Amino acid sequence: MNNPRSAFTLIELLLSVILLAVILAVAAGVLSGILAGIGTVGAGEGLDNLVGTVDDCISEDLAFISAPGKSGNLTIRSDSGGTTSFTFYSACGAKTAWGDTPVLIHKITYQVKPTAYATKGLFRGEEPLVKTRDAYYDAPVLLSDDVTSFSVEASDGETWHPAWPLESGADLPALLRIHIVIAPAPGVKRTVTIESAPAIEAHAKPEAERRASGAAGKPASKARRTGKTDVPNAPGGDGAEGAQ
């Protein structure tokens, strides 16, 4: 006696295909969310390292701020496009200089400018106070890309000012506050606030004494600084002038 052949009906096949499609769609959504979360967290960690580097660089420069001239030792300027240029003198030691002749004091300029990637970046420029024959300096160095905000305020002890020096003739401000926002991608942003007291840093101790009292390779007096982080949405001579 012959047994009838068992087989799937057309309706059963269609139901199986629909069920498989639903399962694959759910799995793809979960996997995509996991991968996006991993990428966001990884980008956030890399950004934390970048923010730390920027913070340390600016803080070290400010910790050794100097006043070699009677005026023009620190300037804060903003152009018509809202770009801020921050220039001052520092005995931090050359970071971009080449040559055998040491130059102790350098003019440091921080400025946000367009980069080759159609974004804005924070650049650090460095020039010697006294130029020597064998020393030359690199072009301004890009510290961070994707800078959406860079502002510097100076206080005379009573009021915060967006520009410096003042018409009153005050040279170094009593306090400085630098605000930087770096946002490389939607949902990934870091905000850094650095504070310093230039008048105290420059005049409390001679530069040589400040260096001698500090640990090797680190400034003796670090600028006071605070970091603020927005967590990404993810699972688990005289007359200092601004840079051109």
Q: DSSP states of 42-111 as a string?
A: HHHHHHHHHHHHHHHHHHHHHHTEE--SSS-SEEEEE-TT--EEEEEEE-S--SSEESSS----EEEEEE
Question: For position 176, what pLDDT does the model report?
Answer: 93
By the 8 A CB rule, do 74 and 87 touch?
yes
Closest to 126 in 3D by CA, of 8, 45, 243, 7: 243
Beta strands 74-78 and 84-90: pairing type?
A: antiparallel
Both tokens of 130, joined, read: 């006294």
pLDDT by residue for the chain (244 residues), tens digit each? 555 556 668 787 888 888 888 888 888 887 777 766 555 555 556 788 888 899 999 998 998 888 888 788 899 998 777 678 999 998 877 777 766 666 778 899 999 988 888 889 999 998 888 776 666 777 898 999 999 999 999 998 889 999 998 876 667 898 999 999 998 878 788 889 999 888 776 655 555 554 444 433 444 334 333 444 443 333 333 443 333 3
Question: For position 66, what pLDDT does the model report?
Answer: 86
By the 8 A CB rule, do 196 and 223 touch?
yes
Closest to 102 in 3D by CA, of 130, 69, 71: 130
By the 8 A CB rule, do 190 and 182 touch?
yes
Can you point out the beta strands (E) in 99-230?
A: 106-114, 120-128, 136-137, 141-144, 147-155, 160-161, 175-185, 188-196, 225-230
CA separation for the pair 148, 164 (Å, rounded): 22
Question: For position 216, what pLDDT does the model report?
Answer: 39
135 contacts: CB under 8 Å, gap ≥ 6: 97, 98, 99, 100, 101, 103, 128
Half-sphere exposure (Cβ direction) of 124: Cα atoms closer than 13 Å: 21
pTM, 2 dp: 0.65
